[in-house]
Amino acid sequence: MIDVRDLHVRFGEVEAVAGIDLSAEAGQATALLGRNGAGKSTTMRVLAGVVPPTEGTVLVGGLDVARDAISVKRLVGYCPDVGGLVPLATPWEHLQLIARLRRIDDWETRSRDLLERFELGDVSHRVTSGFSHGMSRRLSVVLAAFHQPDVLLLDEPFDGVDPIGVDATLDVIADARARGACVLISTHLRDLAMQACTTAVVLRGGARVASMASCELEGEAGADAYRALLD
Amino acid sequence: MPTARSWTDSVADLWHLLRFRTQTVRRPRAAAVASVVLAGFTLAAMLVPPHVGAVAKVGGPEQVVGYLPSMLSGFLVLSIVSAISSGGGRELLPRDQAAIHPITTTTEHLGALVLSPLNLAFLLQVWLLLGATSLVTGGDGWLVGQLLVLLWIAFATALAQAVGWTIEIVRRGERGVAIVRTIAVVGALAAVALHLSGRFVPLLEGGPTRRLASLMAGTRDDAWLAVPVLLVLTVLMVLIGVIPARAALRRAPRDELKVESGIHPARAFPSSDAAMLLRMDRAAVWRSVPMRRGLIVLALGPGLVALVGAMSWGSVMVLPGLVISGGALLFGVNAWCLDGRGVLWRESLPVSPQMVFRARARVLAEWLIGASAITVTLASIRAGVPTVNQAISMATLLVVVTLQVVAVCMLWSGRRPFSVNLRSARATPAPPLVMVGYSSRLAVTTTLTALIFSTASGGGWLWLSPVLAVPLLIWSLRTLRRAEQQWVAPAPRAAVVMTVAG
């Protein structure tokens, strides 16, 4: 479902991603791990069609991101790492925008259901600029998962989220996997990543340094192995 | 650990913050050039007028002396209006960045004062006052005249700032927004009534500014005595301003919180993608406190001046350009900042970038033409029924200037985006010095365009204005097209998105 070969992304003289290879399958959840600045969020942005690759091949659902970004965007649901919400729009308006642009019929029932599951039903008609960080993160996950995308990209979905929000996010990931979607999660919370994912890819300095089954990073031994990969 | 801050600490903090702002300027060379240019204009305003023979032929120093008291008072009035509408003046640091630092309200107050000159409207008035004083005093009293007018500018700015904070205390109180709106309406009506009764100009000309102007114009030695008096008054006013600043900044910004906590009921599902994008963009503009407040001041202010001053259609022609360029400074020069950090998510949606661009440009155009239409409508009450040529020229001018400003704003938005949070009423879409550059370029372009159409409206050729509009429209459409192409290209668009997302 996701096939990345020798991806490079440069911003001027800064090389944010320096030759990443990555693949992720349908029905699986893959954790993207690494230190700050390892290239996780930039890779996610490329997969979401937001940032074009400087070099390399990026296929999402068989479509080349560089050539057909709009079609890729139709397949993908993306929760960005920062903000991700239009400040003076309400959650309902965000969902209405998705429903309109993605041609979703009968969207209101699913909207209400998701907002309730993430405990955002009470604020669905308030602008998001007044939201706490955790509320914003929860809504970003709702927006990414709302249209049941084939590829679900969640960048730091658990950051600052309370346990109920974490559970709701884990449910969304499980639902996506159950219907055959490919899920990619970038996070610094290793335990939650291991709980949600089947495989893990570790990035360092803009390149992949390891790819393994998530169970290999569980427990104390897993933590030591992870630290060793980061240094 | 001691947390109290003395005056000296507050001044030191101000210095540190100003250094931080100047060191983090994105294009230091351009900023240095802009600073030199501004200093050059100021020096020119101080030195050149007595040597320009043409000015003397128009009316000479004697005539300017008559205007000086009302010019000095006018500066004070406009400074007060500006301080009130900007909710206490500019921020040294954006609110979300400043929140983690122990910045005192005294530093905030001093920062707003120091940043006041970084505003084209302020600078134009300052240059006008310096030039007029220089013309009046000539060579003999030049030094004391310039000192006095500079001190008056400082005093008026400090007084306006204190009034601005005081009004902000009221605005942030119980039913404060309604009270301040009532005060504004009553103030405007009082100004109109005073003018209609023939007492407005005498009021501006009277009082301390008449005495100050006579001191400037005279050759008496007591002009020098006024220097320390004004200096002491200015320092006192700066100190007094700390009190309302402290009281205002301790209160929550009620109108901003009202937007954030208010309910915005769901609306019907839009009929098309474009309609949905327009709806989102319009909401971002109209729900923003600084934009709404700025638009009201921009639309009504010049309109009321035209109404009170009974401007002719030839003079009214200049107003739409000023309103449109002022309106663009509220968000248009950094149009993508409306999405804030949500720009990353919006960019992941399957919609053509052309459609996104056109929606944003259209909302900007609606905003600008709406504000200028209000101004022209108000002005038309006293200007009377326009001739056919004047009506054609005005309509053509509105279209031309709007397209000019929208095109150039969309180009700048793509070339030089900034990550800003327009949540605060004191926020601006770009750093202060950049805003001066933008406002200068917009004001020059729109004023020159207005002068062309104002001249054309005076002749008997009905076809002249539409014909003159053609090359200007073609140029603007080409600029708009370039801006769209820039946005549609994936790499430049990604750069904008990443910058705006912060």
Say if residue B424 is exposed, middle or buried (CB neighbours under 10 Å; 0-12, 13-18, 19+): buried
Within 10 A of B382 (CB to CB), how many other CB atoms are there? 14
Q: What pLDDT was estimated at residue A82?
A: 78
- Distance of residue B153 Cα from the nearest chain A Cα, in angstroms: 38
Tokens coding A52: 């074009």
3-state secondary structure of B227: helix
Closest residue to A73, CB basis, from B264, B283, B348: B348
- Distance of residue A217 Cα from the nearest chain B Cα, in angstroms: 31
Residue with tokens 């704003």: B409
Q: What pLDDT was estimated at residue B110?
A: 92
Q: What pLDDT was estimated at residue A96?
A: 96
Q: What angle do CA B370, B374, B375 make, to 5 degrees?
A: 115
- In chain B, what is the straight-line distance between the N-terminal and C-terminal CA atoms, in Å? 33
- The residue count of chain A comes to 231
Residue A23: how many CA atoms within 13 Å on its side-chain side?
4
Residue A199 one-letter amino acid: T
Q: What pLDDT was estimated at residue B82?
A: 87
ipTM reported for the complex, 2 dp: 0.93
> What confidence category does residue A112 fall into, taking pLDDT thresholds of 50, 70 and 90?
very high
CB-CB under 8 Å, A50 with B347: yes
Is the confidence at residue B437, as pLDDT, over 70?
yes
Q: Would residue A17 be called left, alpha or beta, if left means φ above 0 and alpha means ψ between -120 and 50 degrees?
A: beta
CB-CB under 8 Å, A50 with B348: yes
- Residues in chain B with CB shorter than 8 Å from the CB of A86 are 280, 284, 338-340, 342, 345-346
Spatial separation of the C-alpha atoms in residues A57 and A202, rounded to whole Å:
19
CB A176 within 8 A of CB A153: no
pLDDT tens digits, one per residue of A206-231: 888 888 888 888 888 888 888 888 87
Bridge partners of residue B58, in order along the sequence = none
Spatial separation of the C-alpha atoms in residues B31 and B22, rounded to whole Å:
9
CB A192 within 8 A of CB A166: yes
Q: What does the pLDDT average to over B293-305?
A: 85
CB-CB under 8 Å, A100 with B273: yes
CB A204 within 8 A of CB A226: no
CB-CB under 8 Å, A101 with B350: yes
Strands A2-11, A55-60: pairing is antiparallel
CB-CB under 8 Å, A85 with B284: no
Mean pLDDT of chain B: 88
> What confidence category does residue B57 fall into, taking pLDDT thresholds of 50, 70 and 90?
low
pLDDT tens digits, one per residue of A7-31: 999 988 888 888 889 999 999 999 9
B85-99, B393-407, B426-440 — which one is most confidently predicted on average?
B393-407
Under DSSP, the state recorded for B386 is P
Q: What does the pLDDT average to over A160-169?
A: 93
Q: What pLDDT was estimated at residue A53?
A: 95
CB B420 within 8 A of CB B329: no
* Of the candidate ranges B241-245, B257-261, B365-369, the one whose mean pLDDT is the lowest: B257-261
Helix axes B388-415, B353-383, angle to 10 degrees: 140
CB-CB under 8 Å, B287 with A78: no
Q: What pLDDT was estimated at residue A143?
A: 96
Chain A residues contacting B, CB < 8 Å?
Answer: 11, 45, 48-52, 66, 69-71, 73-74, 76, 78-80, 82-90, 92-93, 96-102, 125-130, 140, 143
Q: What angle do CA B96, B98, B102 make, to 5 degrees?
A: 140
Q: What pLDDT was estimated at residue B304?
A: 82
Spatial separation of the C-alpha atoms in residues B10 and A202, rounded to whole Å:
47
